[in-house]
Amino acid sequence: DTGVSQDPRHKITKRGQNVTFRCDPISEHNRLYWYRQTLGQGPEFLTYFQNEAQLEKSRLLSDRFSAERPKGSFSTLEIQRTEQGDSAMYLCASSSRGQGKLGEQYFGPGTRLTVT
């Protein structure tokens, strides 16, 4: 296993710009998750995919956020018209298809977004 990878690791952008993050899950994992974490808080769920289907999107996620997993492998998370409140660590995780293993999620290194 090469683990979950994310790119870029750091992103600094100006308010109003669009940004896109990429996540490559562990190869045999069919579920992929996006979370957001701010300082002093636990990760907060954003959305998740089973294969290429987006199964749930958090009500906290505004319309400026969109995620895709077009071929059921890597995923992208796009934030349009960034705001300073979007500054956070964006975490990707993946889990195996095995029954009972869906909650065993393995995280990538994260993308730290700073909006100036």
Partner 1 sequence: QKEVEQNSGPLSVPEGAIASLNCTYSDRGSQSFFWYRQYSGKSPELIMFIYSNGDKEDGRFTAQLNKASQYVSLLIRDSQPSDSATYLCAVYQGGKLIFGQGTELSVKP
Is 56 among the residues that bind partner 1 (CB under 8 A)? Answer: yes
72 binds partner 1 (CB under 8 A): no
Residue type, position 27, single letter:
S
- 7 in contact with partner 1 (CB under 8 A): no
74 binds partner 1 (CB under 8 A): no
Which of 91, 94, 113, 115 binds partner 1 (CB under 8 A)? It is: 91
Q: Is 84 helix (H, G, I), strand (E, B) or coil?
A: helix
**Are 16 and 110 in contact, with CB atoms under 8 Å apart?**
no
Cα dihedral 101, 4, 44, 68 sign: negative
**Using CB under 8 A as the criterion, which residues of the chain lie in contact with partner 1 when the complex forms?**
33, 35, 40-45, 48, 55-56, 89, 91, 93, 100, 102-110
